[in-house]
Amino acid sequence: MEDIGYKIFGAFLTTVLAFVVGMFYGGFRRKIIARIQNRVGPPVYQNFLDVMKLLSKKTAVHHGIMQQLAPLWLITMSIVTLMFIPVLKDGLFFTNLNFSGDIIFLLYMMVFGSLGMALGAGQTGNPNSAIGVTRGLIQMVGFEIPWIMALVALMVQYKTTSVTGLLDIQSQSGTWMMFSSPFAFIAALLAMPGMFRYSPFDIVGAPAELASGPVSEFGGKYLSLMMTSGSIFAFVKLTLIVDLFLGGASNLIELVIKTFILYMYPVLWGAISPRFRTEQAVKYFWGWPLFFGVIALAFATF
Amino acid sequence: MAYDNNSQKIVDYIQNFARKHSLFVLAYGTGCGAIEIPPTMTSRYDAERFGIRGAATPRQADVLLITGYLATKTLKRVIRTYEQMQDPKYVIAFGSCTINGGMYWDSYNTINMLDKYIPVDVYINGCMPRPEAVISGFVKLQDEIQAGRADGWKKYQDNLEEYRANQKKIIKNWTMPDFNW
């Protein structure tokens, strides 16, 4: 009974942690981009104010049940993936359901929200949404292939599909997987900016070109849910890569340092890049990332 | 407890604080004033430090910024855009043209007073107002929001017939859907 209590409290605590950390990372991103552009920039807690403002909107127009469900699917996907990822290596509150889910399950779950979003955006009937959805699916085909190849290389090399198993292998051998299987790490790292959808890969929600794409008909509480889900999911992706390649974290400070350094890579790349066209993005993902993915698979097999 | 006056005041204060510091601006840049928006948003004057940021679509926006004169043709689009925005929404009228027609006051195809067609919360006068003036207008709007006086959206709902009558005087072929939210 006590155990279940700890688990429920731990799940709640993990979600709040992911939300707060993800939100602050978003705020730091805006601040850092502002400093790069020689501006003062918004305060780091600006994203919290945005979410609060969106929640305090008095109306939220929707065009049907699927549009209402889409943000819910997104946030469900974010929280479910969070539950199956070991936030810390051990500890009472952050273990959640680590031992039940494996990488293959996570790979499925991580596209679930985007597909729900695609259905929801389709119902709005906005032409910008439809273009954004097709672009998003094309981009997903682009970055998923090197990303999955990197993870499959890990699974083949260490003969386990469990994230916890991979964490154990890293702590037993004492080397991080970015050193013991470097090509998989390079492939995953090169595919990672596509997952974050910052410049130069912001082809889905290009504000000046597509009027924010799939999001264009979502306002008020729907938008706030999507911002929340985005923050949680950013934390999820960073934590997954830290767990797989950077040896996980044994306390929260270590986790925050590792994820923040990892987060700076898509942010800083985005801050100095213009937007790719769709075919350029796919060409990029099917170039060097795919090459390193193939090398990683060969490295793992032989 | 939940509906008593004092707790409502606290809720209003927190909500207004969030609304005030996070303004998503939809710039309706048909007039010449649109040229003042890029410097306001970019490095030199940096409106983002007040939480002001551009919104891509009316659904996400809080502030409708009308930059300059409105032709009778574009008025229709402005009304449609304004009605698509979610409450609470604010309108900033920018430049002399929106106040009394400015240099176009006797033109056959522009409107003279924007306030007759959609409720305006803050006017920024000048031809053109510089980015400093624009930012001061935004700060004025923030003060109004915090004080709870920026209630143009309520005025629009209450006096919808009056506004509609004025709008239909200008727009002869009215084919827009009804405002029902």
Show me where the domains of chain B are located.
17-170
The helix/strand/coil state of A25 is: helix
pLDDT band at A200 (very low <50, low <70, confident <90, very high): confident
The parent domain of residue A99 ranges over 2-301
pLDDT at B112 over 60: yes
Segment B13-55, tens digit of pLDDT: 888 999 999 999 998 877 788 888 889 888 899 888 998 988 8
pLDDT band at B96 (very low <50, low <70, confident <90, very high): confident
pLDDT score recorded for residue A168: 84
Segment A93-128, tens digit of pLDDT: 777 777 666 888 888 888 888 888 888 888 888 888
Supply the angle between the helices B72-84 and B160-170 in degrees, to the nearest 10: 150
pLDDT at A33 over 70: yes
Entry pTM: 0.89
Q: Are A177 and A257 in contact (CB under 8 A)?
A: no
The neighbouring-strand residues paired with B90 are B63
- Provide the number of structural domains found in chain A: 1
- Range A236-262 average pLDDT: 89
pLDDT band at B70 (very low <50, low <70, confident <90, very high): confident
Question: Which pair of tokens denotes residue A295?
Answer: 């090398």
Q: Are A153 and A297 in contact (CB under 8 A)?
A: yes
pLDDT at B180 over 70: no
pLDDT band at A231 (very low <50, low <70, confident <90, very high): very high
CB nearest B49 (choices: A42, A49, A58)? A42
Segment A260-302, tens digit of pLDDT: 999 999 999 988 988 888 889 999 999 999 999 999 999 888 7
- Range A197-226 average pLDDT: 85
CB nearest A40 (choices: B21, B49, B85)? B49
Residue B54 DSSP class: E
pLDDT at B4 over 80: no
Q: Which helix (H) or strand (E) holds A193?
A: helix A182-196
Which residues in A5-18 are b (16+ Cβ under 10 Å) and which e? eeeeebbebbbebb
pLDDT at B3 over 70: no
Which residues in A168-207 are b (16+ Cβ under 10 Å) and which e? ebbeeeeebbbebbebbbbbbbbbbbbbbbbbbbbbbbbe
Q: Is the dihedral of CA A276, A277, A282, A286 positive or negative?
A: negative
The neighbouring-strand residues paired with B54 are B25
pLDDT at B1 over 60: no
- A73: nearest Cα among A229, A180, A265: A229
Give the list of residues 6+ apart from residue A163 with CB closer than 8 angstroms, or none: A84, A85, A86, A98, A101, A102, A103, A106, A240, A243, A244
- The CA distances from residue A144 to A107, A202, B63, in Å, are 9, 16, 38
- Range A45-71 average pLDDT: 88
pLDDT at A218 over 60: yes
**A34 to B60: CB separation less than 8 angstroms, yes or no:** no
Tell me which chain A residues have a C-beta less than 8 angstroms from the C-beta of B46: 34, 39-41
CB nearest B87 (choices: A41, A59, A216)? A59
> In angstroms, rounded to a whole number, what is the distance separating the alpha carbons of residues A179 and A175?
7
pLDDT score recorded for residue B138: 92
R_g of chain A computed on alpha carbons? 19
Instruction: Report the percent of chain A where pLDDT is more than 90.
Output: 32
Q: Which helix (H) or strand (E) holds A238?
A: helix A221-245
- A236: nearest Cα among A174, A163, A187: A163
- A53: nearest Cα among B17, B122, B174, B141: B17
**B59 to A218: CB separation less than 8 angstroms, yes or no:** yes
pLDDT score recorded for residue B136: 92
pLDDT at B2 over 60: no
- Range B47-65 average pLDDT: 89
Domain B17-170 has CATH 3.40.50.12280: yes
Tell me which chain A residues have a C-beta less than 8 angstroms from the C-beta of B85: 219
pLDDT at A48 over 90: yes
Tell me which chain B residues have a C-beta less than 8 angstroms from the C-beta of A49: 17-18, 21-22, 51
- The answer to whether residue A209 neighbours chain B at the CB level (below 8 Å) is no
pLDDT band at B68 (very low <50, low <70, confident <90, very high): confident
pLDDT score recorded for residue A100: 67
